[in-house]
A and B are shown apart, each in its own frame.
Chain A
Amino acid sequence: MVSAQKGQVMVITGNAVAAYGAMLCRPEVVAAYPITPQSELAEQLAQFVANGVLDAEYVEVEGENSSMNVVLAASIAGARTCTATSSYGLVFMYDALQEASSFRAPVVMVNANRETPGIHAVSSGQQDMISARDVGWVQIIVENDQEILDQIIMAYRLAEDFNIQLPVMVNYDGFYLSYLAEAVEIPNIEDVDAFLAPLKKQPERQKLVPGVSIGCGTHGMEMGYVEARYKHCQALERVKDKVDEIDKDFGDYFGRYYGGQIEEYRTDDADIIVVASGSATGTVRTVVDAKREDGVKVGLIKLRMFRPFPAERLTEAIKGKKAIGVIDRSLCFGWKYGPICMELKTLAVNIGSIPILSYIDGLANLDITVPHIERVIDEVSAAAQGKPYQEVTWIPMEE
């Protein structure tokens, strides 16, 4: 283990730091269409290219579908690529998202989480990312500005790993982290080069080469289709351990560890667990500390990855606990539970039949507050003691 590499500390917004994170990885082709609450990111990347800080082709596109198609094409031609979007933009990319993952293009995309079409949706929420759960991408959720930067660097190590070769979406709460300025340590670009260097020591992935006619997904008839999908699903399974491994490497090098697929906070001796993701986990951690002072044996699991779903690590962390509460910042249309809760329930076979309480909170820029989390912990505690409980609670609707 080498001593942690230090960088320069800046007070910087989530959007701007995402652009720094991408820039430090030296993408060769960037195509990002500005959209609230991500616009500053697209602007900052364009600025880096204009100023010569980033030696990349910045393709001005007419919309998000084109931005994804540009980076997809550049990626399969061998370039390191970067794009960023949010909400309607992510929806507009839907077909291209599936092409990118099916072509096994190691695109890295930043998504500033925002509510989705139908109702005036210029507000924070994880619905965009959640609704894109089945496009075959890796989806990672971060909590603060430092983690945005660090995770983007880790995302390139993951996406371009020869045994993975999948696109990675790095998600952060739009509005909250987009515009929040925090102190962030920006690593030196040489240190990022060194961290990404193992990618150069692996076999070369397949690339489009001038003069060689390649069919990309064109021969997926019957068993060809099955084989390609099977390999894709197997690669997503391999992502789980790889994320933990890269997190450890990153921590050893830069001194910051995030736990990989999940972060467990005071869970070891906990009776009950709150599961949360994104920026709200900071608040949950504070409330967990306060409740611990009162003698409540509660812990937090921060879900850092939604696809692939970290079933094994979650099972390990939850097994033996008496009850859990899951806070979802999005909806699972057609199920009464929140999406993360709904997926956690599939673990019941392994974790045993314990109360799993679903909480819908923080939609449309409504804060997940300290009193909300106190309420969750109180109700989960009561459920753990065998008292009757409500399976699903839309917290703002009861206030």
Chain B
Amino acid sequence: MVIKHKNIFKTESAWSNADESLLCLDTGSWRTERPVLDKEKCNYCGLCALYCPPQCMKDMGDHYEADLAYCKGCGICATECPRKAIAMVPEGEFADG
């Protein structure tokens, strides 16, 4: 048997660096609602980024913002935000939605 395949994983198991390769699918296209941040309410605690399933919250220095290329619109950030600073807004209300 001639193996032509070039390994994707460096390890024996299917382990990978999530920072590099978790954001690899077009999960943004799954979204029906978009997280919108009220910067007045946000105190930059980082819980939204911690709970984000695809880990797509970008650190903007004084707040976090979802990377819309990967945000699935699951709303977990909005649910977990202790200050209710994130609202889930239907995609239809955006010009690019």
Contacts and interface: CB of A to CB of B under 8 A. Distances in A.
Contact of B16 (A214, A223, A230, A235): A214
Interface in B1-28: 5, 7-9, 11-19, 21-22, 24-25
What class of interface size applies to chain B in its complex with A? 10 to 19
Contact of A223 (B8, B12, B18): B8
A178 interface: no
Interface string A79-119: 00000000000000000000000111000000000000000
A165 interface: yes
B55 interface: yes
Contacts of A212: 17
Contacts of A215: 15-18, 21-22
Interface string B22-66: 101100000000000000000000000000000100000000000
Given A213-B55, A223-B5, A227-B5, A218 B18 contact: yes
Interface residues of A, number: 25
A182 B11 CA distance: 43
Contacts of B24: 219, 221
B43 to A, nearest CB: 23
Overall SS of chain B's interface: loop
A224 B9 contact: yes
A370 to B, nearest CB: 46
Contacts, number: 71
By CB atoms of chain A within 10 A, which of B11, B14, B15, B18 has the most? Answer: B14
Nearest to B8: A224
A231 B10 CA distance: 11
B13 A102 contact: yes
Given A223-B8, A227-B7, A102 B18 contact: no
A63 B13 CA distance: 27
A123 B36 CA distance: 60
A100 to B, nearest CB: 11
A165 B9 CA distance: 15
A217 B55 CA distance: 16
A228 B9 contact: yes
A213 B15 contact: no
Interface of B: 5, 7-9, 11-19, 21-22, 24-25, 55
Closest 6 CB pairs of A and B: A213-B18, A104-B13, A228-B14, A215-B18, A206-B11, A215-B16
13 contacts: A103-B14, A104-B12, A213-B18, A213-B19, A214-B16, A216-B14, A216-B15, A218-B14, A219-B8, A221-B25, A224-B14, A227-B5, A228-B13
